[in-house]
Amino acid sequence: MTKDLSSLIALGLFLLYAVAFVCVYRVLLTYRTAPGAIAWIMGLLGAPYVTVPLFLFFGRNRFSGYVRARRMGDQSLQPLFDRFESQNSAIPLPSYDASDQGPFSDDLLVLSRLARQPFTTGNQCTVLRDGEATFQALFEAMESAARYILLEFYIVRSDRVGQRIKSILQRKLAEGVEVWFLYDDIGSFSLSRNYFSELVKAGARVASFGNGNVRRRRFQINFRNHRKLLICDGNIGFVGGINLGDEYLGTAMGQEPWRDTHCRIQGPAVLGLQLAWLEDWNWASDELPELDWPMAAPPAGEQDVLILPANPADSHETGTLFFLNCINNARERIWIASPYFVPDLQILNALELACLRGVDVRILIPEKSDNQMIRLAAYSYLVQASRAGIGIYQYQQGFMHQKVVLVDIRYAAIGTANLDNRSMRLNFEITALSTAAAFVTDIENMLLEDLKACRLMTARDYRDRSLAFRIGCRAVRLLAPLL
């Protein structure tokens, strides 16, 4: 080995470890969990040639670019937030020291403050129990749009559903309806760019949540926009777990249909969805479209509804606090349907405490999954869950992809957030919550039907498996922060 080559290798190692120490410094300043920080530090110092690239792309837990954009964008968005809170349908929140807490319990007040949005009254929320009902409602809403259509989806496919969506949008654009389409480039990585280029030619505005301003987004690919939104004219909106693809109809490669749930909202709460969409669009495109912001939309119903967006740019860990608040304040039951069940220690402890209070805790997860690592990790929780009295129910009829929460008989929520680290800390998620008795009953009946297609799992489902399987489950669970 020549002297020059030795010097070059030494310089490379020095620079590599210098970057590793900078990364360690970042970890120490920003870590959220001690085990995660220890794992990163050990990897950075022990195998920097592998861990440094991983940390640059996957180690960040705060979406710093979005934080900066929010600071700048909120200067324009804040008047819209203020206007939303002051409209006649918004239910004002009392101060923490107020003696009259109004119509809401403390846990609902906390959720409203966490969402940075008020509950609004005069809404109608309709539960859409499967892909067929959801797509039919989406198509009808888009066909009826007179001014604009806003879309935001994690996965967009160029299959039958995707082509139907595109044809409707092209037709509405020809009629003079404006279209803004925001998609996540990681979730839609397999989508041909011809799909959106044809919409752009027809007059639509299209933006990717991950591309665009490369300088602002570099090393932030770990953050994904997992929201699924459609808003038409500011008075009808949709949110839930359903992306734009044939898999929800069972027509994708002959597979069984995915079991999922969406929600149609009519009334003032739609403006909460629109505010979340607008903030995301501003980040992706650096523009704020002119949209309708009526002070008080005509009453569509009698439901009080809260829209709760969550993302890694929030000052609080919104996703985690949402689930903790629901679990800790449940008194009779907490039922959660989630396709991905990889809870961290605080969520698992909260579920155990709920059982100790006598709460009926049920977690619905799928038997079949599109992520086998997460499926394996879920088995590792069975012994602890069974011992605590947590009921984990495995859905048997296809892949269950819905994200639903039911708390007592007081409120229920439909959204995009899963019980995993990615939804809690890394993804952009959004949830619609209603306190209406009719909505809660619909969710209860729906989950009861789903439970008929479930099998209650026990500790034996883990203990009776091979040693290799059990070790694999425990090993995969170690990767929970990255799953």
Annotation says 401 is catalytic: yes
What is the b/e burial string over 163-202, where b = at least 16 CB atoms within 10 angstroms of the residue's CB? eebbebbbebbeeebbbbbbbbbbbbeebeeebbeebeee
Phi and psi angles of residue 419, each rounded to the nearest 5 degrees, phi first:
-90, 65
- CB 362 within 8 Å of CB 322: no
Q: 3-state SS string over 344-372?
A: CHHHHHHHHHHHHCCCEEEEEEECCCCCH
Kindly give, in sequence order, each residue whose CB lies less than 8 Å from that of residue 291, ignoring residues fewer than 6 positions away. 148, 150, 234, 274, 278
Q: Which of 401, 420, 442, 450 is catalytic?
A: 401
Annotation says 226 is catalytic: yes
Q: Which of 130, 166, 184, 228 is catalytic?
A: 228
Q: Which of 260, 280, 403, 420 is catalytic?
A: 403
Q: Is 232 helix (H, G, I), strand (E, B) or coil?
A: strand
Q: Which of 226, 246, 260, 280 is catalytic?
A: 226
- CB 213 within 8 Å of CB 220: no
Strands 303-310 and 333-337, bridge-based pairing: unpaired
297 DSSP assignment: P
Annotation says 368 is catalytic: no
Annotation says 262 is catalytic: no
Annotation says 403 is catalytic: yes
Chain mean position to CA 343? 15
Annotation says 166 is catalytic: no
Active site residues: 226, 228, 233, 401, 403, 408
